[in-house]
Chains A and B, each alone.
Chain A
């Protein structure tokens, strides 16, 4: 039991409990905040894996931008709590069984097929972090330049799409 392993286990428990909390909370705002906690703990996983830039992007993009958008829409619609509708009696047990099957499949794949025994060493402190970041940037802008540009078009299309979708039609009465 070393320090890193204890940290990992605590983080794993926090991440999984936050995910479960998101699933069971009736109030959408609480669910969003649980998801922020989950994203934050995953960001610390990235730090443990020696990917500090990804960790910070996770915090700014996911926990920052995306979750603020979620909270904004929840509060705009006033949809913190939905009225209880008709409940399909078989939906919940069936969903739990199906998710269990998915988890069992993943576990089977992990433990029987992959035979992964690789141990990840801690990020080497002697490696210059700036140098690693430089390599990352060079790879991104040389080898993956085309996907990067396609991504910018994707973001533009998403922005235009969101604006066009929510724009009121001409002649539609204001309500």
Chain B
């Protein structure tokens, strides 16, 4: 009923919006959310291809992507919390301690 291309177009648009969010925003929390958006767009493409080829492998890969996303968020948010504790701000512009 719905061509595979439609799903891939939606996935590509969501991925580009996620990349735009990473580039445009300077709040690390929103940058993280944009990364989640990109992972989600990739998942959508996986499930669409799995449906198109009639295999389950794509769906299983989505499970692993979700798990990795959960682990990434846990560690990333912990990093943000300790950066806030040390610098009392989380603006990414202030994270330049390693700059020469």
Contact A16/B81 with A48-B2, A86-B93, A118-B52 known, Cβ cut-off 8 Å: no
Q: Is the CB of B82 within 8 A of A165?
A: yes
Q: Chain B contacts of A77 at CB under 8 A?
A: 80-81, 84, 90
Q: Is the CB of A117 within 8 A of B3?
A: yes
Q: Is the CB of B33 within 8 A of A69?
A: no
Q: Chain B contacts of A129 at CB under 8 A?
A: none
Per the CB 8 Å criterion, the residue count for chain A at the interface is 80
Q: Is the CB of A35 within 8 A of B29?
A: no
Contact A69/B37 with A16-B14, A49-B47, A107-B12 known, Cβ cut-off 8 Å: no
Q: Chain A contacts of B73 at CB under 8 A?
A: 66, 69-70
Q: Is the CB of B1 within 8 A of A118?
A: no
Q: Chain B contacts of A125 at CB under 8 A?
A: none
Q: Chain B contacts of A83 at CB under 8 A?
A: 91
Q: Is the CB of A103 within 8 A of B13?
A: yes
Q: Chain A contacts of B15 at CB under 8 A?
A: 102, 106
Q: How far is the CA of A144 from the CA of B91 in the complex (A)?
A: 41
Q: Is the CB of B40 within 8 A of A42?
A: yes
Q: Is the CB of A79 within 8 A of B33?
A: no
Contact A73/B3 with A19-B14, A82-B26 known, Cβ cut-off 8 Å: no
Q: Chain B contacts of A51 at CB under 8 A?
A: 47, 50-51, 59, 62
- Asked if A173 CB lies within 8 Å of chain B CBs, one says no
Q: Chain B contacts of A12 at CB under 8 A?
A: 6, 10
Q: How far is the CA of A69 from the CA of B73 in the complex (A)?
A: 8
1/0 per position for A122-164, CB-CB distance to B under 8 A? Answer: 1000000000000110011000100100010011011101100
Contact A45/B7 with A140-B60, A151-B67, A155-B70 known, Cβ cut-off 8 Å: yes
Contact A31/B33 with A39-B40, A82-B90, A166-B81 known, Cβ cut-off 8 Å: yes
- Shortest B5–chain A CB gap in Å is 5
Given contacts A19-B13, A42-B44, A82-B89, 9 further A-B contacts (CB under 8 A): A8-B6, A38-B37, A51-B50, A69-B74, A83-B91, A120-B7, A139-B60, A144-B60, A151-B68
For the complex of A and B, the 10 pairs showing the least CB-CB separation, nearest first, are: A158-B71, A95-B23, A99-B20, A106-B12, A103-B16, A162-B78, A165-B78, A19-B17, A95-B24, A49-B51
